[in-house]
Structure 1
Amino acid sequence: MQATMLNTKGYFYSHLVKKNNYTLDLRTCIENTVLKLLENDTSVNRPGMLLGKIQSGKTRTFIGVTALAFDNGYDVAIVLTKGTRALAQQTYQRLQGDFADFKHDDTIQIFDIMLLPDNLIHYELNQKIMIVVKKETNNLQRLYTALFETYPMLAEKKGLMIDDEADFASIGFTRSRDQIIEINKIAGQIDEIRTKLQDCDFLQVTATPYSLYLQPEDLIVNSSNKTFKPIKPAFTELVPVPDAYIGGDYYFRESEDENTVAYHIYQPILPDELDVLKKQDRRRFKLEEALTSNKIASLRHAIINFIVGGIIRRLQAGIQGERPKKFSFIVHTEQGKQAHEWQETVVMEIKEGLRKAVESDKALLHDLIKAAYVNLQPSIQQLGVILPSLEDVKSEVETALRNDVIMITKVNSEKDVNQLLDEQGQLKLRAPLNVFIGGQILDRGITIGNLIGFYYGRNPKTFQQDTVLQHSRMFGYRSEEDLAVTRFYTTQHIYDTMKKIHEFDSALRAAFEKGGQDNGVVFIQKDTENHIVPCSPNKIILSTITTLKPFKRLLPIGFQTGYKTYISKIVAELNDLILEHVQGQAIPEPFLLDIEKANKIIEKIQATFDEKEGEKWDVQAFLSSMEYLSQNSVLEEHRGKVWCIVRKNRDMGRIREDGRFEDSPATTKGEKGELKVAREVAKDIPALILLQQNGKEENGWRGCPFWWPILVTPENTPTVVFSSKSAE
């Protein structure tokens, strides 16, 4: 087969490369994508895939792909955008800007499908054509009419259909209330258009492709008795991610290292506070107590942190002779308009209370400012940049409150968003400090500049990978100085779920890099007979997954022990089971433990935890992961065993100084540090660390010793996803 020759020096692409200063990595991605489009049959069921990250430059990449495609025989590009008018407008304006020079030369025409003229002449139709189409029924009907009735010559040209955020509307199926899989109407319209076009390639662009990769090969749709062939990528090209990009690694991996700026970014919210913010109820919270009530302590803390953080950044800019930036903060906890109105009222009351305190209660105001300053200080100092004095910050905050520089905006609808967009289609920051309160309308591609605070509380019964990641508006390109004053507020449960989803996301990306989307990840479950078996990835519920990779730690976090009366006997049994292996050793050496005995120990440890208090431990995932990794050793003598590392007489607290649950009870300090030892011995089977804690009341426990288990996965762990629960 003759190799395809790609023209990379053409009129469109060479101009954009120079205009937008494309990096070598980006050019390689763009050129590989077009080459694969030319070489692969990207038909209805097998489109190409551009896989990026949330707010990482996917639009920039597919614009480059379009330009290069135009230089290599393509004449028509159809861009399917997310399902809101604001986002369609944002994409349209972006295309108009990037292709402005070509428009002036009359070599390209760019249209919004809803504004497409019905009297285009051949002079215009013979130019390159770009059409922006919102994934919505009327838009798609207009596209169908344009292609097959008004301008049928366009349907005969070589075309490229780009489905932006492919997971959003063009997923091939949804679940009805009766859990019957049905064809999505919008997806049906897109499929009909794709099928009728004579020569059209398909490229899907997304950061969350799991609904595409994890679909079964076919679906029987009961209502129509037809088999629907879902979208399966013919190839996957990864959009390069520059070093300046801040995403899940920063929020959920780097944040575990106390020597980083990221360590300070997460701030826990109590679930009860989210209930208070759903609707007004004076039995729970009185509005006039907005500056003092513990019922909304985290929200108040978040708003004041945002104000103080924004003021610090503006003072830093002044010191450095730069123009001060405007900053933004998002409150996103509910979808309902009633909740947004109540949250707007609460935030307005906080703002008004702070303004009044400038004149009437400076002691309270200064205490609140100082608390925020102390919260932000460690991350700013960690970065090593200028920290304005507390007195200067107090003075500037007072001035900001007097001058009313804090804009609070409720965003409920497309109309609200349209009124807020600037000429580039981005959310306009009208004041130095901007608080946006809303729900889903703020997601899915809306660009919100200089975001330094995100108060997030969406807590559905079943988390969906694409939805949760798309809510992550705090991802994107952020300066280090902005990150030092950035804080992310959510509950421990939501944070842990987002961390799981990030780990799953990272595992799939790693698999793509190793050899494509069709291999590299093992999905497992326990069957009804308690055996570990492979499972279909499309069946998993993402909030119940555990992703395994080399040297990952699995451990209970946020739990509470039972009372001494109830657990002393079980603890004594555990002591007998565990300590018999390490008698006479001051610092016990690691030893091999049969998996059956390890399972018995873990089950007894679970029985010492209070299921009604604190965070629930997914012990099934712990046990199943330990068993799977033990049984799949390449060394026969290690099969069915784990390395066990025991440490005694520990006094770890339940809650850290920053208010978060302790999640690092094991140490790497010294030669005998248990984590260090675990990483040395866990080559092909896992290491089980068992820490005997004294459980003192002053450390947040209930005055009874207990055992705290940690599973460390082996160095040679394949990428494994264990699902505790099936979606069936």
Structure 2
Amino acid sequence: MIKGEYYTKKYEETGYSEELKQCIEEACSYCIENIQSNLMSGNRYYKGDHPLMLFGKIQSGKTRAFTGLMALAFDNNFDYVFILTKNSKALVEQTYKRMRKEFKHFINEDKIDVNDIMKLQDELTPYELEKKLIFIAKKQKDNLGRICDFINDYMIDGTKNCLIIDDEADTTGIGFEKEKDTDEFNLRTVAAEVDNIRGSLDGYVFVQVTATPYALYLQPDFDTTEIKPIKPRKTVLVPSGADYIGGEYYFIRANESGDSGNYIFEEVDDNEQEIASAQKTDERRFKEAEILIRDDRLPTFRRGLINFIVGGCVLKKNGINKKYAYVLHTATSVNAHTRLANITKILIEQIKECKPEHEEYINKLLVESYNDIKNSVVAFSYNMPSFEEVKNEFFNAFNKGYIKISVINSKDEISKYLDEETGELKLRTPFSVFVGGQILDRGITIPNMIGFYYGRNPKTMQQDTVMQHSRMFGYRGKDLLSITRFYTTRKIYESMIKVTEVDSALREDIENKRFEEGVYFIEKNKDSSNTAKIIPCSPSKISASNIAYLKPYSRILPVGFTPKSKAISSEVVRKVNCILDGVIDRSQREAVKITVDCAEKILSEIYTSLKPDNDTKRFITEDRMVSILKYLLKDNRHCNLIVRRDREMSKIRGNGTYIDAPDNGQDERVIAKKVSDDIPTLILLHEKGNEEDWKYREFWWPIIVVPKNSSRTIYSYPEVGVRVKKKK
């Protein structure tokens, strides 16, 4: 791998940490390896078709990582980069400006050009095509179609190597539609267009970038050359810097005794959450004009807004002059956003007026807020000014119009709210309140966000969506943390804790290299009355996948197969017997421990004699069996082994379905439960195969028993008999 002028310049400009350098260089090595394997094989369906995943945290610097990868790729014979952004004109503009800034030096030297694919000139000259070219397109049919046109017009000779970088890869670009009355699935329009781009190229590597890769890890493994693989084969973790504040701080450390994060969470009553998220006001329950004086209606909503202003005033008295943001995200409905913004305006106006009959009550609210903010400000070692000083600054903000309320939703073009230079939400006044929904998630950076009133409370939470709502994640100094508050219901907060734990477990498993190449396991929280039901992603994104669960004492085994020829099957039985005779006596009925290497060797032998039936969807392959075993072992090097011989289990039940429980519930299954507390058990059943369905061939039937203390885990396994195609 060459570190030439492009990467060297980027490194000099930005000063990558050792961790980030390692991330970029590991990712580029994978890209180079896959391009080389393609050139050597000449095969259109090669290892490089499997995506590379850059897995970062929300607002942690993923763009910085992939621009470093682009620079190093340019040094190593990559010519063009296609960057696919979320379906937003504003984000295309933001990405375009960011790329021009990142590669400004080389643009000035006429070595690199950056293009919005929809603004591309009709005809590029050979001179232009010899440069390193960067194209930005949103994930929308017309944009992606223009990329295909460019490839057909200018890259037909196949001599250019390309990176396709799918930013926020788990959104928009994947999804399936089931054809009526068939077992076939169609790729959705955008996913099909992305696949068309990949299918038009010879030398390319597809790079997925996201903080929420759950849907991607649960994609099917397409056994076809018609559809390019979506599930990544390799994952590279993007490091976050020392000042990064994410879910661990907000939802894990916040529950640890004596931690500074203890002050973050403030609970919202369920009834309040229901009122705040309603599309219209029920005058019988709540009158908007009484928002200031009614203690029993929206008290936390009211306190949150006052805390927001008080916090900014406190920092100003400490010599910190910044503009601050507060976000209200309680619903997806446009009507709900308008209503909540109106309630906010009424509250601000009533405080500003401070009528004589309200003065004492407003003062009481200010005292409560002052004491609330004081706790965290002192914990972060800042000076707490006197109450009168804060009170004066507080009313000054109201009287001088320092507070602005903006509604941002699907009715608006968000680009008008973004700073032209940074692409972040522009804070026009010292205190900006943003009311909105989904449009305030992916790709939108909200600077100096110190308050978040969050009320999205569906019965089923999609983990990727909930994580992306967390716009308060990012690089934040202790000044911001000292006054930051997160307002939500107890149930939502407990659910966020579970989401964070699942996400942390996934990252830890990847970091510790517990996954085999291309196989990923995602822990699933135990459903409880204190949390919402949490699923990894929208079901439409993984509807073509065979999803399986690992839960305590569950059993994993191949179902729906036939032994190969009698000669092969008999020889495999003999070889497995030879291995087993070295680790367990034939009279032994109890479990023994064997190394994972020995278990893997046994499984490898067994699978050489098993052939999946054409109509089965439940055949667990050797790769998956070994991957599951290793995952369940974690850092252990031994598993339990139970062996039984001379069994005569049928293949098909009387109702025509496959037998899927060949083990004895009164014998080996009981023993497995006794020994499978922390490590899995491998049960091996020697079947005589004395019936026509087995072709009168003996074989070994392997079963893995999941340990009692394992977390509930979801994963996908290869498709058998599932057809995925593109619409004609």
* Normalised TM-score (structure 1): 0.69
C-alpha contact 2:174 2:190 (8 A) present in aligned 1: no
C-alpha contact 2:506 2:522 (8 A) present in aligned 1: no
Q: What are the equivalent positions in structure 2 for 1:532-611 lying under 5 Å apart?
A: none
Cα distance between partner residues in 2 of 1:722 and 1:201 = 30
Deviation at 1:414, TM superposition (A): 7.2
Deviation at 1:509, TM superposition (A): 0.8
SS of the residue corresponding to residue 404 of structure 1 reads coil
SS of the residue corresponding to residue 388 of structure 2 reads helix
C-alpha contact 2:502 2:523 (8 A) present in aligned 1: no
Deviation at 1:516, TM superposition (A): 5.2
SS of the residue corresponding to residue 93 of structure 2 reads helix
The reply on whether 1:721 has 2:677 as its aligned counterpart is no
> How big is each residue's C-alpha offset from its partner over 1:294-314, in whole Å with a ceiling of 9 and x where there is no partner?
221121111111111111122
State which of 164, 168, 172 in structure 1 corresponds to 2:167.
Answer: 164
Identify the residue that residue 80 of structure 2 maps to in structure 1. 76
Deviation at 1:286, TM superposition (A): 0.6
Identify the residue that residue 271 of structure 1 maps to in structure 2. 270
Deviation at 1:12, TM superposition (A): 1.1
SS of the residue corresponding to residue 169 of structure 1 reads coil
SS of the residue corresponding to residue 39 of structure 1 reads helix
C-alpha contact 1:50 1:237 (8 A) present in aligned 2: yes
C-alpha contact 1:507 1:719 (8 A) present in aligned 2: no
Cα distance between partner residues in 2 of 1:43 and 1:352 = 62
C-alpha contact 1:463 1:541 (8 A) present in aligned 2: no
Deviation at 1:444, TM superposition (A): 0.5
Which one is further off, 198-207 or 416-425?
416-425
> How big is each residue's C-alpha offset from its partner over 1:411-454, in whole Å with a ceiling of 9 and x where there is no partner?
02374411111122111000000000001111101011000001
Identify the residue that residue 702 of structure 2 maps to in structure 1. none
Deviation at 1:497, TM superposition (A): 1.5
Cα distance between partner residues in 1 of 2:372 and 2:357 = 25
Cα distance between partner residues in 2 of 1:524 and 1:66 = 35
C-alpha contact 2:376 2:483 (8 A) present in aligned 1: yes
Q: What are the equivalent positions in structure 2 for 1:352-501 lying under 5 Å apart?
A: 352-357=349-354, 361-413=358-410, 415-423=412-420, 424-501=422-499
C-alpha contact 1:521 1:720 (8 A) present in aligned 2: no
> How big is each residue's C-alpha offset from its partner over 1:325-369, in whole Å with a ceiling of 9 and x where there is no partner?
100011111111111110110011111111011776332222111
Q: What are the equivalent positions in structure 2 for 1:202-213 lying under 5 Å apart?
A: 202-213=206-217
Deviation at 1:490, TM superposition (A): 1.2
Cα distance between partner residues in 2 of 1:512 and 1:353 = 53
C-alpha contact 2:139 2:190 (8 A) present in aligned 1: yes
SS of the residue corresponding to residue 449 of structure 1 reads coil
Identify the residue that residue 677 of structure 1 maps to in structure 2. none
Cα distance between partner residues in 2 of 1:536 and 1:271 = 25
C-alpha contact 2:403 2:433 (8 A) present in aligned 1: yes
Identify the residue that residue 501 of structure 2 maps to in structure 1. 503
* Higher RCO (C-alpha under 8 Å, 6+ residues apart): 2
Cα distance between partner residues in 2 of 1:435 and 1:176 = 45
Query: Match for 2:133: what amino acid?
Result: I
C-alpha contact 1:44 1:194 (8 A) present in aligned 2: no
> How big is each residue's C-alpha offset from its partner over 1:185-244, in whole Å with a ceiling of 9 and x where there is no partner?
101110011011121111111111111112343499xxxxx9966512121110011121
Q: What are the equivalent positions in structure 2 for 1:26-45 lying under 5 Å apart?
A: 26-40=20-34, 45=49
Query: Match for 1:15: what amino acid?
Result: K
Query: Match for 2:29: what amino acid?
Result: L
Cα distance between partner residues in 2 of 1:258 and 1:160 = 47
Cα distance between partner residues in 2 of 1:514 and 1:16 = 29
The reply on whether 1:18 has 2:15 as its aligned counterpart is no
C-alpha change, 1:408 and 1:426, in structure 2 (3 Å) is same
C-alpha contact 1:147 1:154 (8 A) present in aligned 2: no
Query: Match for 2:298: what amino acid?
Result: I
Cα distance between partner residues in 1 of 2:432 and 2:179 = 39
Identify the residue that residue 282 of structure 1 maps to in structure 2. 283
Deviation at 1:484, TM superposition (A): 1.3
State which of 7, 12, 28 in structure 1 corresponds to 2:2.
Answer: 7
State which of 95, 101, 116 in structure 2 corresponds to 1:97.
Answer: 101
C-alpha change, 1:346 and 1:538, in structure 2 (3 Å) is closer
Cα distance between partner residues in 1 of 2:180 and 2:269 = 31
C-alpha change, 1:62 and 1:408, in structure 2 (3 Å) is same
SS of the residue corresponding to residue 15 of structure 1 reads helix
State which of 49, 58, 75 in structure 2 corresponds to 1:54.
Answer: 58
C-alpha contact 2:170 2:212 (8 A) present in aligned 1: yes
Cα distance between partner residues in 2 of 1:373 and 1:139 = 51
SS of the residue corresponding to residue 58 of structure 2 reads coil
Cα distance between partner residues in 2 of 1:241 and 1:393 = 36
Identify the residue that residue 233 of structure 2 maps to in structure 1. 234
Identify the residue that residue 603 of structure 1 maps to in structure 2. none
Identify the residue that residue 295 of structure 1 maps to in structure 2. 297
Identify the residue that residue 669 of structure 1 maps to in structure 2. none
SS of the residue corresponding to residue 295 of structure 1 reads coil
SS of the residue corresponding to residue 512 of structure 2 reads helix
Query: Match for 2:173: what amino acid?
Result: S
SS of the residue corresponding to residue 499 of structure 1 reads helix
State which of 144, 149, 164 in structure 2 corresponds to 1:140.
Answer: 144
Cα distance between partner residues in 1 of 2:406 and 2:238 = 34
C-alpha change, 1:85 and 1:142, in structure 2 (3 Å) is same
Which one is further off, 35-44 or 342-351?
35-44
Cα distance between partner residues in 2 of 1:104 and 1:522 = 46
Identical positions, percent:
40
Cα distance between partner residues in 1 of 2:639 and 2:550 = 23
Aligned length: 541
Cα distance between partner residues in 2 of 1:447 and 1:537 = 22
SS of the residue corresponding to residue 300 of structure 1 reads helix
C-alpha contact 2:457 2:492 (8 A) present in aligned 1: yes
C-alpha change, 1:524 and 1:454, in structure 2 (3 Å) is closer
Query: Match for 2:9: what amino acid?
Result: H
Identify the residue that residue 200 of structure 1 maps to in structure 2. 204
Deviation at 1:547, TM superposition (A): 11
State which of 113, 118, 126 in structure 1 corresponds to 2:117.
Answer: 113
Query: Match for 2:32: what amino acid?
Result: L
C-alpha contact 1:451 1:474 (8 A) present in aligned 2: yes
C-alpha change, 1:48 and 1:487, in structure 2 (3 Å) is same
C-alpha contact 1:235 1:516 (8 A) present in aligned 2: no
Query: Match for 1:390: what amino acid?
Result: F
For the pair shown, the structure with the greater C-alpha radius of gyration is 2
Identify the residue that residue 617 of structure 1 maps to in structure 2. none
Cα distance between partner residues in 2 of 1:485 and 1:524 = 33
> How big is each residue's C-alpha offset from its partner over 1:620-644, in whole Å with a ceiling of 9 and x where there is no partner?
xxxxxxxx99xx99999xxxxxxxx
C-alpha contact 2:218 2:520 (8 A) present in aligned 1: no
Cα distance between partner residues in 2 of 1:334 and 1:75 = 44
Deviation at 1:37, TM superposition (A): 1.1
Identify the residue that residue 696 of structure 1 maps to in structure 2. none
Query: Match for 2:221: what amino acid?
Result: E
SS of the residue corresponding to residue 382 of structure 2 reads coil
C-alpha contact 2:410 2:439 (8 A) present in aligned 1: yes
Q: What are the equivalent positions in structure 2 for 1:316-335 lying under 5 Å apart?
A: 316=318, 318=319, 324-335=321-332
C-alpha contact 1:167 1:211 (8 A) present in aligned 2: yes
C-alpha contact 1:409 1:435 (8 A) present in aligned 2: yes
State which of 342, 345, 368 in structure 2 corresponds to 1:345.
Answer: 342
Deviation at 1:174, TM superposition (A): 6.2
C-alpha contact 2:195 2:227 (8 A) present in aligned 1: no
Cα distance between partner residues in 2 of 1:204 and 1:133 = 15
